[in-house]
Amino acid sequence: MIIVFLVFGCQKWFDYEAHALIPFISHGPLIFWLYPVFGIRGAAFFLGSAEFLIGALLLLGFWNRRLAVLGSLGSCATYVATVTIIPFFPEAWAAPAGGFPAATLPFLFLVKDIVLLSASVYLLKQDILRASNNERWIAFSEREATN
């Protein structure tokens, strides 16, 4: 997940990627507001920065359980935002191939986010459990030290 966020975040800094995102952001019910607020390049910079931050939080989460939970929450939010584009994506079915079930490549690119959302939810669950166990261990250690 760290590599996915860092690579995808890096892509957002290039002009070609900013323009390739137009159909995705324009039809995203949770992210459509990015263009009126930031413009095409600004929206891509915003998303790229957010993805870098999430990747960094996931990486730092190896050493800090709370940062791991924040990174996992950011990952879940990212993939919820992209998965909600799926029902609204235009020309999702490839007409030259006869339509449904033949899908266009941009649409299929979004479908992979269903799997990444599932992985993010699982990661969040694991990070919450690790953070919870860590807090219990710290409390136990402090009690033992005072006794």
DSSP state of 28: -
Name the strand (E) or helix (H) holding 69.
helix 65-83
Burial of 109 (0-12, 13-18, 19+ CB in 10 A): middle
The pLDDT value given to residue 109: 87
Cis peptide before 23 (omega within 30 of 0): no
The pLDDT value given to residue 22: 94
Cα angle 97, 115, 33; round to 5 = 85
| Residue numbers in the chain where pLDDT is lower than 70 | 134-145, 147
Phi, psi (rounded to 5 degrees) for 29: -65, -20
The pLDDT value given to residue 102: 82
Indicate the Cα dihedral angle 84, 88, 91, 93, nearest 10°.
60
The pLDDT value given to residue 82: 95
- How many CB atoms lie under 10 A from the CB of residue 25? 21
Instruction: Give the pLDDT confidence of 7-29 residue by residue, as tens digits.
Output: 999 999 999 999 999 999 999 99
The pLDDT value given to residue 137: 64
The pLDDT value given to residue 106: 84
The pLDDT value given to residue 126: 95
- How many CB atoms lie under 10 A from the CB of residue 78? 22
The pLDDT value given to residue 94: 82
The pLDDT value given to residue 100: 81
Alpha-carbon distance of 121 to 76, in angstroms, equals 6
Alpha-carbon distance of 58 to 9, in angstroms, equals 14
